Chains A and B, each alone.
Chain A
């Protein structure tokens, strides 16, 4: 099982602030990187699927970038709103032999204060 790190572990921002957090993963055997949002008492929800170095994805005020050579992905939220409060998880898919394996990071818990 490979190590996937997310930072920061938690953060509080004011409504309207922009913020970003990081997912770091091994740069070898990369297959894909997924971002999920997990709101309290709800199911984790897929945000982005990123597969190519240099990928940039955007959904509303949320965007993500991917650097597979150096092993990191950034998630950005522009103009944070209270409804953005959630835990943001990244999932690293990698090749292990001929199979694909998956490891989740521990998440970044975001709280947006009104």
Chain B
């Protein structure tokens, strides 16, 4: 069984530039999560999807962050414009029933 796929694995951009991350969850997993992990901290939930519906986006900074999960499968997370403080690892995870999560390898974003 293929795991959660994320791309790119690494991204370096200058501040004020846009950036997008892509996630392909495990087939059949209805729940999809986007997390941000800052150095020395645990993953912080940004948004959770049940199929194509965003059921928890309370921690998503909506002024610059957006996400979508068209057709309830793949998902993209976008930042526009990026700020220095957005440098972090962005993790995507999926789960079949909202419990045990299967994580992708993450995208390490560096904003210069």
Question: Does B18 reach chain A (CB closer than 8 Å)?
Answer: no
State the main secondary structure of chain B at its contact with A.
Answer: loop
Q: Which A residues from 41 to 74 make CB contacts under 8 A with B?
A: 41-46, 49
A112 interface residue per 8 A CB criterion = no
Contact of A100 among B41, B42, B44, B98 (CB under 8 A): B98
B42, B44, B93, B99: the one contacting A32 at CB < 8 Å is: B99
Is there a chain A Cβ closer than 8 Å to B61's Cβ? no
Q: Are A43 and B100 neighbours in the complex by a CB distance under 8 Å?
A: no
CA distance A41 to B41 in the complex (A): 16
CB <8 Å contact, A106 and B41:
yes
User: Which residue of B has the minimal Cβ distance to A109?
Assistant: B40
Give the top 10 A-B pairs by smallest Cβ distance, nearest first.
A104-B42, A44-B103, A43-B103, A106-B42, A104-B43, A43-B105, A46-B100, A106-B41, A105-B42, A49-B100
Indicate if the CB atoms of A102 and B45 lie closer than 8 Å. yes
Residues of A66-105 whose CB lies within 8 A of B:
89, 91, 93, 99-105
Interface residues on A, range: 20 to 34
Is A89's CB under 8 angstroms from B4's CB?
Answer: no
B99 touches A49 (CB 8 A): yes
A4 sits at the interface (CB 8 A): yes
CB distance B40 to A106 under 8 Å?
yes
The digit string for B26-65, where 1 denotes a CB below 8 A from any CB of A, is 0000000001000011111100000000001001000000
Tell me if B101 counts as interface (CB < 8 A to partner A).
Answer: yes
Shortest CB-to-CB span from B6 to chain A, Å, is 9
Q: Does the CB pair B105–A41 fall under 8 Å?
A: yes
Do residues B104 and A43 form an inter-chain contact, with CB atoms below 8 A? yes
Verify if B67 is at the interface (C-beta below 8 Å from A). no
